[in-house]
Amino acid sequence: MPTYTYKARDARGRSLAGGIDAASEHLAIQQLREDGLSVTEIRLTSALVNVEALRIKQASKSVKREEVISFSSQLSVMLETGVPLSESLDAYLAQSRQTGIRRIVEIVADRIHSGVSFSAAISEFPKSFPPLMISLLRASEAAGALDTMLGRIADYLVKERRTLKQIKGALMYPVVMISMAVIVTVFLVGWVLPKFARIYESRAASLPKPTQILLSVSGFITTYWPWLLGALIASVAFALVFRRTETGIRCVDWLKIRMPIIGPIFTNFYLTRSTRTLSTLLASGVTFPDAVDIVRDLTGNVLWRDLWDDVKNSMTAGRPVTETLLASDLVPASIAQMIAAGERTGQLPMVLDRIATVCEEDLEEAIKNSTQMIEPIVITVMGGLIGGIAIALLLPIFTMGSAIGHG
């Protein structure tokens, strides 16, 4: 059983230190409380410390965004009804299933019982709770509005999840269709064509040109397929390595916002995420420089991160924020002008929230339009590719039938 060392205070306020054996940190603290001690510090000191750390790390990775949304919503409701934070966490644990977030909440509850603030407790798990949530909770604790803020965080995460699902859904269709086209083409070229090649061997000189070209391609692929497969694997490996370099990241991020059809989707997505996050942070009392730092890290695109770095530098130099936004080709001039108006009137959070709503509607429209444009393009390409192969295969049969008919 793991051994924990602790520091605590007894009922008279005297400091004590010692060790205790328990199955988990939560149970160790609970046992010490039953002994009348208030734990101020506890840590795992046995050889199992690495195992425990790995368990926590693994639990952090397994936490889903839906679990964070559910946790925030339930905690918000309990706090709004007047239930203290520590009791709310215990109530959540009592009805929670054995999911990834349960282990995290157990540790957070232990920290709360030990006198640590809620924002400080969840900040120990940045892979489970987004930086935005931690910053908002820190601001709400200072303002005494933790219950309201948790509800606002849940609403924000729900909108963010919905937006991501829309984008993934729009991009999934062409990926699936192209994959099917590749599989069918490989099947035709690698399995069907060689069978026809043996049939047409004696008539190679009189075959139509499209059929000759197709059979030559098939012969090349079936003969040199190990080399072609190796080249494909090497190309994919190079692409993955290049994608992780600074140049590769910039290239991919540039393509995301500049490519036809999908460019408007990512542009509106980055605008929606940036303005909604800024609005939520500023309305919660987070200072503008801190809000810009958080938005920069949440953007997910290196070009947009550069933009927010420029905004931060403008603020440091005493220049208006909108001066940088107006000079950038990432932000439409109309949106930059609206932000400028909000900055002048002191209603920037409200204006940013309105902009986020408009950008979200534009995003939905962009997704709808892109789907309508991609679908006929993919169908045409698939039909042309597979149909061309079929016609090239059957053309000699038609030719022979025609010759027999004339004979």
Q: Are 174 and 374 in contact (CB under 8 A)?
A: yes
List pLDDT tens digits, range 7-32: 887 877 778 888 887 756 766 777 88
Identify the three-state secondary structure at position 8: strand
| Residue 337 in tokens | 């002008």
List pLDDT tens digits, range 64-122: 888 888 888 888 889 888 888 888 888 888 887 767 788 888 888 888 887 888 888 88
What is the largest distance, in Å, between two alpha-carbon atoms of the chain?
A: 115
| Residue 166 in tokens | 């829309």
- Residues contacting residue 322 through CB under 8 Å, at least 6 positions apart: 336, 337, 339, 340, 343
Whether pLDDT at 233 is above 90: yes
CATH for the 60-158 domain, from 3.40.50.300, 3.40.50.360, 1.20.81.30, 3.40.50.720: 1.20.81.30
Rounded to two decimals, the pTM is: 0.68
Q: How far is the C-alpha of 226 from the C-alpha of 230, rounded, in Å? A: 6
Q: How far is the C-alpha of 101 from the C-alpha of 128, rounded, in Å? A: 8
Residue 106 CA: distances (Å) to CA of 9, 30, 93, 115, 217: 22, 11, 7, 15, 62
Which of 92, 76, 72 is closest to 145 using CA atoms?
76
- What pLDDT shows up at residue 231? 93
Q: At 15, phi and psi to the nearest 5?
A: -80, 135
Q: Identify the band that residue 152 occupies on the pLDDT scale cut at 50, 70 and 90.
A: confident
Q: How far is the C-alpha of 314 from the C-alpha of 277, rounded, in Å? A: 20
Q: At 5, phi and psi to the nearest 5?
A: -100, 145
Q: Identify the band that residue 175 occupies on the pLDDT scale cut at 50, 70 and 90.
A: confident
Number of DSSP helices (H) and strands (E) in the chain, helices first = 17, 3
DSSP string covering 145-187: -HHHHHHHHHHHHHHHHHHHHHHHHHHHHHHHHHHHHHHHHHH
> What topology is assigned to 3-47 in CATH?
Ubiquitin-like (UB roll) (3.10.20)
- List every span in the chain annotated with CATH 3.10.20: 3-47
- What pLDDT shows up at residue 12? 75
List pLDDT tens digits, range 159-170: 888 888 888 887
Which residue has tokens 């007047």? Answer: 82
Residue 36 CA: distances (Å) to CA of 6, 18, 31, 43, 84: 14, 14, 9, 19, 21
- List every span in the chain annotated with CATH 1.20.81.30: 60-158
CA 63, chain centre distance (Å): 13
Q: How far is the C-alpha of 48 from the C-alpha of 93, rounded, in Å? A: 24
